[in-house]
Structure 1
Amino acid sequence: MKHYAEINHFNICTGIMTMPKEVDRENYLEIEDFNNDLLWRKYDQETETWSEEKFLPDRPAIQLDEFEQLKAEKDQLELTLNSVLQTNAMSLKTMAEQSRQLRDSQSLSADIMLKMARNSIN
């Protein structure tokens, strides 16, 4: 088992986890053992040490960041949905046109067959 500290873009540990195998992620730092005391400590990449002080999260700021992220995801989903709806509308319009053309073709074929039948009778 491998133990990892998940660090954010400020190099602050935001989570500790154990994985069954090695994980190669930029924000995962392998640690010797499962140590919850590293939570909210800052990792110094030059000295490869953890800070003594903890950098506890500012809850309102985190909630605002999460809100902004969710809003951006919602906006992206709406754009994707609108694109899908437009594509579906165009497909339905194309299908309706093809259906009309098929009916016209079938009607024309029926007329031709009727004329051929009349000509063979005469």
Structure 2
Amino acid sequence: MARAALGDLLATPRSAALVAWDGGVCVGAVLGRDQVRDTHLSHEVQEMFVRPERQRGGVGGALLDAHLNAVQARGITSVSLLTARESPAEAFYGRFGFRRAGRMVLLVRP
């Protein structure tokens, strides 16, 4: 399932991905896509993962930093993502300047 989901994401127009490898083993990745929002282009980080045994070792930070630099190099200044509220992931992304969007609400339907 994960392979199919990642393949679908990479097949999306304007998608971008960075992968960290160690000895031929994928230890982490960040994937996102550029999208037209109103009158400008923005970027949404759609997936990010680091193997559990490699977390807190700098892999995720290096991946996200490089990904955000590549997005900025394309002239995109608006970047968004979804993550769990008050989670370690929210704290991680906060170190890279992400904050809660005050006016946005995630609505779900069972």
Is TM more than 0.5 here?
A: no
Greater share of helix: 1
> Normalised by the shorter chain, which TM-score bucket?
under 0.3
- Work out which of the two has the higher radius of gyration on C-alpha atoms and give 1 or 2: 1
Q: Tell which has more relative contact order, 1 or 2 (C-alpha 8 A, sep 6+).
A: 2
TM-score (norm 1): 0.21
